[in-house]
Structure 1
């Protein structure tokens, strides 16, 4: 490698990457635990799928509501300070979830989730973009995919640990104002606080390179809104997040069905780790494959495979359906970082605004799962999976059109 410890740019990139591992890991850990609230609410409060999936609606709504002001904040304070702000807001969200332990106040749960996701929105826009633009541009997709692998590691451990506290106590006398239910969020708050301090100490790591006047956002707006690849990528991102969240959230309920595995709540919740485990393995493998295979081609294959597996799960049922639905996670593995890298404009000055649009597309995680829940209440959970299955067609279509796109993220600081 040409980079050495005496190269300031190399040291900056290395430090940023190492710090970002914690950001991506904790984001995945807490996001997967939030998904377990849906089966908990359906079992303990008797909510139907539509109302229970308001959990994901509240959790992902911040991406639409706050993306623009957060983009302005990033331009004003810089990437590193924005990450500190995001981590601090996430701590507040965890503390609010602790206060709503036992989920007796559904409104408080939704407010706490909105707060938590607002912090994650900061991280999505700041961390994803800065990791993409700091370092060799030709390795941007691979670099982001590798970090997403640590995100996936968090999503694997989340269900394994969280299910014990959120689903294992169902039908028992455990739990209380600060009982088992709060433990995952207490741990999350502590780790997020430590990570916020670490980023605060490195707040000047990028110097002034990442700072821009807020007015630049509006000046580049017409150009960005006419970027067809970015707009198409935004639609594909909406479809991807919607499908992944819908399937990942409903897997426990699907596995508990008599026509599937008829699993216990605890077992079903922990089996979700296999879904996210496939994403973890696929992301580490994807970081290797994306250095050798066209990103668009790999994304197209993954999209079509995910669609086929979701259809099998919808129509087959039993062990076959359960295995197929869990295997969708493997196909999802490279989608987010590859979509992000393919859609991001080549002009670095447009990156914050483009990141804002891509981040707003994450609201698909609010809308698609909610619509899937509405369908599940009317036609059954199995058939409702055809909706997220159709989302993968959009992703594959975007990938085919951009299959020959060269060096999609040609930006550097």
Structure 2
């Protein structure tokens, strides 16, 4: 480590049996990360579903993503306040319960083919996800050997990616109508399974609500928050996450429609939806490959390389035709894979006491997943789907700029990371 490196953060959670506690928390978190990915990718399939079955335009259909991600902006601060007052386990239980309620409301909205209730249900789902986004990452990082924190988070992100693969595989036959008519209650199947899983996990976290003790609760000071918010690297990272999440969610939401165009061989709705699993599967493969690459190269350089590759693949998809266009846009998932965790690590303030506030800012930046899809959908209604995809392609430029600007930073210079 260099002279200005902070020492590795010690566990902030007092535990009678730290190893057993960390193991139990990790096992519970596997379900949280998996179901989070499953729900997120299933929501992406709702865009082509409501557009095809309910006769909506791209803009109205893409409002689904706006409703899904806007809560990161609306509820991040209340969620953080609950984490500080009630602790990580109770905040996780609350978030899971809210998501279970949202899944149930979504089932009712899809069954009634009512657009407004669907948007309300999605807002509830993303509100619960906001609680989990803030509580889960910190809890897993703090509970257990700090030298293995990055390993734990990488493994959990792998389960999250697995959920994003399973979601489209199951949802392709239920969420995407083969004709213009809905198929009874079949579209509710993925969210019914999600509701049951979420409710079970909520009960699990509620049962072990005191697992982390009082160490799972900690307040905040105005000075700490002010210092974190003024951190230039954090500001750049927040912009990069805003742009990255916006691009990834937009492409994932419109990918089914792109694959059904004659430009991309005119896949059937069900086949196109199944191919979306390859897009999210690329993220899963890329995360494991990226973990290996990070042993040999600096995070900032890998981020810059991925942010260069992604828009090139989008352009290749727009300029190519048939299978070449299909493969190019699906491959964007691989380029996306390492962006979020790498941006997060590079952007986190170097002082450990500022890290929670920094994590909050980065969580709020996820609202890009609400803004960019909506703008792209409105643009697609005016100029067509293919030209509109240039907008998410351009979103990778701030990511590239952040990676290039951060190239002097080593992963060992960041808070909450340790040298091997």
TM-score range, shorter chain: over 0.9
Cα distance in 2 for partners of 1:332, 1:266 equals 24
Deviation at 1:263, TM superposition (A): 0.9
Deviation at 1:290, TM superposition (A): 2.8
User: Which is further off, 73-82 or 143-152?
Assistant: 143-152
Cα distance in 1 for partners of 2:120, 2:154 equals 31
Residue of structure 1 aligned with 2:186, choices 180, 193, 199:
180
Residue of structure 2 aligned with 1:50, choices 59, 63, 69:
59
Cα distance in 1 for partners of 2:172, 2:356 equals 37
Does the alignment pair 1:62 with 2:66?
no
Cα distance in 1 for partners of 2:41, 2:317 equals 21
Cα distance in 2 for partners of 1:23, 1:374 equals 33
Residue of structure 1 aligned with 2:304, choices 300, 303, 309:
300
Deviations for 1:8-47, whole angstroms, at most 9, x for unmatched residues? Answer: 4343333322221111100000110111111011111211
Cα distance in 2 for partners of 1:269, 1:387 equals 22
Residue of structure 1 aligned with 2:394, choices 386, 390, 396:
390
CA change 1:278–1:67 in 2 (3 A) is same
Cα distance in 2 for partners of 1:133, 1:292 equals 27
Cα distance in 1 for partners of 2:48, 2:308 equals 28
CA change 1:76–1:120 in 2 (3 A) is same
Cα distance in 1 for partners of 2:367, 2:182 equals 37
TM value normalised by structure 1 = 0.92
Cα distance in 2 for partners of 1:141, 1:296 equals 17
Asked if 2 retains the 8 angstrom alpha-carbon contact of 1:94 and 1:116, the reply is: yes
Cα distance in 1 for partners of 2:210, 2:144 equals 17
* Structure 2, unaligned runs of 5 or more: 1-14
Residue of structure 2 aligned with 1:90, choices 78, 91, 99:
99
Question: What residue in structure 1 maps to residue 416 of structure 2?
Answer: 411
TM value normalised by structure 2 = 0.91
Cα distance in 1 for partners of 2:112, 2:46 equals 9
CA change 1:321–1:206 in 2 (3 A) is same
Deviations for 1:204-239, whole angstroms, at most 9, x for unmatched residues? Answer: 2222223113xx253422111111111111000001
Residue of structure 2 aligned with 1:364, choices 362, 368, 389:
368
* Structure 1, unaligned runs of 5 or more: 1-5
Deviations for 1:78-126, whole angstroms, at most 9, x for unmatched residues? Answer: 1121111110100010010111124621110000000000000111111
Cα distance in 2 for partners of 1:310, 1:35 equals 18
User: Which is further off, 90-99 or 6-15?
Assistant: 6-15
Question: What residue in structure 2 maps to residue 3 of structure 1?
Answer: none
Cα distance in 1 for partners of 2:215, 2:74 equals 28
Residue of structure 2 aligned with 1:118, choices 123, 127, 148:
127
Deviation at 1:146, TM superposition (A): 2.5
CA change 1:224–1:74 in 2 (3 A) is same
Deviation at 1:147, TM superposition (A): 1.5
Asked if 1 retains the 8 angstrom alpha-carbon contact of 2:263 and 2:325, the reply is: no
Deviation at 1:193, TM superposition (A): 1.1
Residue of structure 2 aligned with 1:345, choices 324, 340, 349:
349
Residue of structure 2 aligned with 1:234, choices 232, 238, 262:
238
Aligned residue pair count: 402
Where 2:263 maps in the other structure, the secondary structure is coil
Deviation at 1:391, TM superposition (A): 1.2
Deviations for 1:181-215, whole angstroms, at most 9, x for unmatched residues? Answer: 111111101111111122222222222223113xx
Residue of structure 2 aligned with 1:330, choices 326, 334, 337:
334
Residue of structure 2 aligned with 1:40, choices 34, 49, 52:
49
Asked if 1 retains the 8 angstrom alpha-carbon contact of 2:53 and 2:181, the reply is: no
CA change 1:151–1:375 in 2 (3 A) is same
Deviation at 1:73, TM superposition (A): 0.9
Cα distance in 2 for partners of 1:296, 1:95 equals 41
Deviations for 1:366-400, whole angstroms, at most 9, x for unmatched residues? Answer: 11111111221122111111111111121121112
Asked if 2 retains the 8 angstrom alpha-carbon contact of 1:137 and 1:410, the reply is: no
Cα distance in 2 for partners of 1:219, 1:259 equals 55
Deviation at 1:364, TM superposition (A): 0.2
